[in-house]
């Protein structure tokens, strides 16, 4: 994996708060949901502040329960200023293939509602939002509202390469250093 061009980013101090509180609160819904409600078996969510630009890159990958009938109309609430990069269904062959889908967006209160048709059991959405500007200490709140009840959620927060005094709340379960990056990880069930 190539390290992205960091350009003229200055060293920063960044605090990320409330990373997964809504997601954690919604995990229990998977157990209580009716059989007819679609469920997400596994969700992998990556939050990458200042990964390749002064905004936050988020990737969302989810596996639907095997008993879900496809195609499935899916609606995901994103930050109001989200710029969508990909909305795809994934075919798992020897190598994964992303089948990007047409989508619509519309305001939804303080959010942006992204709607598309999921055609395979695995969905993938990638978007940028927010702008982290200025120098010195900054903070970022991230809220994830899953479209369906979730059984397992893995959350990764990538520490910006030039960050100093980087903290998360709640504390991550683990920190892994890989290819020059620090990955802060959480698992919710």
Domain boundaries, the chain: 13-31+43-52+138-189, 55-130
pLDDT of residue 28: 46
Residue of higher predicted confidence among 178 and 15 = 178
Sign of CA dihedral 123, 142, 134, 169: negative
Q: List CB contacts of 65: < 8 A, sequence separation 6 or more.
A: 38, 39, 40, 41
Q: What is the pLDDT of residues 128-143, one digit of tens each?
A: 998 666 677 777 788 8
Arithmetic mean of pLDDT over the chain: 82
Q: What is the pLDDT of residues 37-63, one digit of tens each?
A: 899 999 999 999 878 777 899 999 999
pLDDT of residue 134: 65
Query: Nearest Cα to 181, choosing from 155, 157, 159, 154?
Result: 159
pLDDT of residue 16: 42
Can you list the alpha helix ranges (DSSP code H) found in the chain? Answer: 21-27, 29-32
- Is the model's pLDDT at 35 over the cut of 90? no
Reported pTM: 0.80
State the Cα–Cα distance between residues 188 and 150, nearest whole angstrom: 9
Q: What is the pLDDT of residues 93-124, one digit of tens each?
A: 888 999 999 999 999 999 999 999 999 999 99
């Amino acid at each position: 994996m190539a390290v992205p061009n960091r350009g003229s980013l200055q060293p920063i101090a960044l605090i990320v708060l409330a990373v997964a509180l809504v997601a954690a609160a919604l995990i229990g819904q998977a157990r209580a949901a009716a059989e007819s409600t679609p469920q997400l078996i596994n969700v992998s969510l990556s939050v990458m502040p200042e990964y390749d630009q002064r905004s936050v890159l988020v990737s969302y990958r989810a596996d639907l329960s095997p008993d879900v009938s496809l195609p499935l109309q899916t609606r995901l609430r994103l930050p109001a200023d989200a710029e969508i990069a990909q909305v795809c269904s994934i075919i798992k062959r020897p190598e994964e293939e992303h089948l990007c889908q047409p989508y619509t967006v519309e305001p939804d209160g303080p959010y942006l509602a992204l709607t598309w048709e999921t055609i395979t059991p695995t969905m993938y959405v990638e978007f940028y939002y927010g702008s982290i500007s200025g120098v010195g200490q900054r903070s970022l709140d991230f809220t994830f509202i899953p479209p369906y009840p979730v059984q397992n959620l893995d959350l990764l927060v990538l520490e910006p390469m030039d960050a100093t005094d980087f903290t998360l709340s709640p504390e991550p379960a683990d920190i892994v250093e890989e290819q020059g990056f620090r990955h802060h990880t959480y698992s919710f069930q």
